[in-house]
Amino acid sequence: MNLVVVGMQWGDEGKGKVVDFLSETADVIIRYQGGHNAGHTVVIEGQTIILHLIPTGLLHAGKIGVIGHGVVVDPKALLDEIEMLASKGISVTGRLFLSDAAHLVMPYHRTMDHESEQRRGASKIGTTGRGIGPAYADKMARVGIRVADLLDPQHFREKLSANLTETGRLLPTTAGEHTVDLQKIYDEYLALGERIKPYIAGTARILRQAIGRKQHLLFEGAQGTQLDVDMGAYPYVTSSNATAGGACTGTGVGPTQIDKVIGVAKAYATRVGSGPFPSETDNDIGERLRTQGQEFGATTGRSRRCGWFDVMAARYAVDVNGLTAMVVTKLDILDGFSEIPLCTGYQYKGQLLTEMPTSANVLQHCTPVYQVFDGWRGQTTAGATSYGKLPDNARRYLEAIETRVGCPVDLISTGSDRGGMIIRRAPFVS
Ligand code: GDP
């Protein structure tokens, strides 16, 4: 049984916790896109661990983790994370494999990221500034450097030099400055290459062998459907395919090998960075969601924009990922709200839309249509593990989501710790 977990909203849906939960019954956990701009937070016995590149499943002893070729890797960030885990007594040696075909995030990518955001001014995308977008741009322009290139010093030097020459990055600026120091980058990355060498492998083959042994594969999506470079509100998106298709192109596993795709959505909605967000509540209610939900970025610490659950966006996620089930997280954050609006549609120029618009410009001008549910004041869902024991109004709300989105809610998360999970149907059982 091979399963993909994707975010149904704008990222930060709590995929880290869901993947951690599902990892118990998986053998190999795989990251397939994004870079260290993503951040998964897992809380284990009160201890918070934030991972950016390493698959969350490696927090379980004995599991294998793979970073597929669809991920762009900053080797320094990867080594920092390996060391952070080692300091907590978690060793990934011998069980973490990094694709030799993954592209590298280079120092000049970070510079380009910052410069590009500065140039955009008010229309900036709100990237994390870690060079992820420019690394993907170089990959597609065929001037990227891959992990395997670091293993051959002569070849690495030639490639680095040729790529920097072709992209004009070795030329002096109009002020006569050289901003890229080839020798410095060469020395730094060659040394980093030596250190990541023990993890480098042909990961597509490793996954093929695991499938041959009938092991359970768990593909861990980063970001979310609405941030996918093709499916999201372009250009307010990330630079990779966060949707389920990315699990195949980013790892070398064919689509016929995927058995289930599980979508993760918060019981409300958040987004970081710029771009349209129709159900945003930019007022004291939004502030309350932010405070109760601790909606601050795992990677940047930025405040997340908060709003209500958006059925239009969720239904779109079901369609473009081919979801077989969904997980609703952070239900407990809605404890204490007297009213819980559910965004069931958009009004655009006096018309009710029934499909998610493609254009960010159209989406920007959509106003939400709400169905308002009564909260479960006085009652709590925090830490609940039984669906039957949830307050009636909480079940009513979840069932409305299930019906309107058109996808079964198999799991409900009710707390940040591993314990707070309601299992209606166990995902790894076919
Ligand atoms: P990801 O990128 O999708 O993994 O999202 P984050 O790492 O930003 O996770 C969201 C945050 O919510 C993390 O701090 C989690 O520990 C926390 N979290 C996940 N599920 C729940 C839940 O059901 N209730 C509460 N209160 N917190 C949760």
Domain boundary among 175, 197, 219: 197
Domain boundary among 166, 197, 228: 197
Is 65 in the same domain as 116?
Answer: no
Evaluate whether residue 429 is within a structural domain.
no
* Alpha carbon of 294 to ligand 1 centroid (Å): 9
Evaluate whether residue 229 is within a structural domain.
yes
Evaluate whether residue 72 is within a structural domain.
yes
Is 116 in the same domain as 9?
Answer: no
The pLDDT value recorded for residue 430 is: 45
Is 264 in the same domain as 413?
Answer: yes
- Give the ligand 1 atom nearest the CA of 56: 4
The pLDDT value recorded for residue 119 is: 75
- The domain that contains 21 carries what CATH number? 3.40.440.10
* Cβ of residue 299 lying under 6 Å from some atom of ligand 1: no
User: pLDDT tens, 258-308?
Assistant: 999 999 999 999 998 889 999 999 899 999 999 999 998 766 778 999 999
Based on the structure, what is the number of domains in the chain? 2
User: What's the Cα-to-Cα distance from 98 to each of 4, 24, 55, 212, 215, rounded to whole Å?
Assistant: 19, 22, 11, 20, 19
The pLDDT value recorded for residue 125 is: 66
Half-sphere exposure for 29 (CA within 13 Å, toward CB): 30
- Give the ligand 1 atom nearest the CA of 297: 8
Q: Could you tell me the residue range of the domain that residue 135 belongs to? A: 103-197
3-class DSSP assignment, residue 30? strand
Q: Would you name the residues annotated as active-site residues?
A: 12, 40
Domain boundary among 146, 169, 197: 197
The pLDDT value recorded for residue 39 is: 76
Neighbours of 208 (CB within 10 A): 15
- Give the ligand 1 atom nearest the CA of 19: 4
Is 33 in the same domain as 179?
Answer: no
By most ligand atoms within 8 Å of CB, the mutation choice from 48, 59, 272, 329 for ligand 1 is: 329
Q: Where are the beta strands (DSSP E) in 129-209?
A: 200-201
Evaluate whether residue 19 is within a structural domain.
yes
Evaluate whether residue 428 is within a structural domain.
no
- The domain that contains 169 carries what CATH number? 1.10.300.10
CA 37/CA 53 separation, integer angstroms: 9
The pLDDT value recorded for residue 174 is: 66
For the CA atoms of 267, 272, 274, 278, the dihedral, rounded to the nearest 10 degrees, stands at: 10
What the block records as the tokens of 266 is 């918060």
Is 257 in the same domain as 375?
Answer: yes
Is 234 in the same domain as 318?
Answer: yes
Is 332 in the same domain as 385?
Answer: yes
Evaluate whether residue 23 is within a structural domain.
yes
* Cβ of residue 413 lying under 6 Å from some atom of ligand 1: yes
User: pLDDT tens, 345-385?
Assistant: 999 999 999 899 999 999 999 999 999 999 998 899 999 99
Nearest to 155 by CA among 215, 284, 163: 163
Nearest to 146 by CA among 66, 138, 207: 138
Evaluate whether residue 28 is within a structural domain.
yes
Is 134 in the same domain as 275?
Answer: no
305 sits in which H/E element: strand 305-308
| pLDDT-flagged residues of the chain (< 70) | 123, 125-127, 171-178, 298-299, 428-430
**Ligand 1, atom 16: nearest CA belongs to which residue?**
416
Evaluate whether residue 430 is within a structural domain.
no
Is 406 in the same domain as 305?
Answer: yes
Our measurement of the distance from residue 85's CA atom to the centroid of its chain's CA atoms, rounded to an integer in Å, reads 20
Is 237 in the same domain as 158?
Answer: no
Is 124 in the same domain as 252?
Answer: no
Is 263 in the same domain as 404?
Answer: yes
Phi, psi of 19 (to 5 degrees): -65, -40
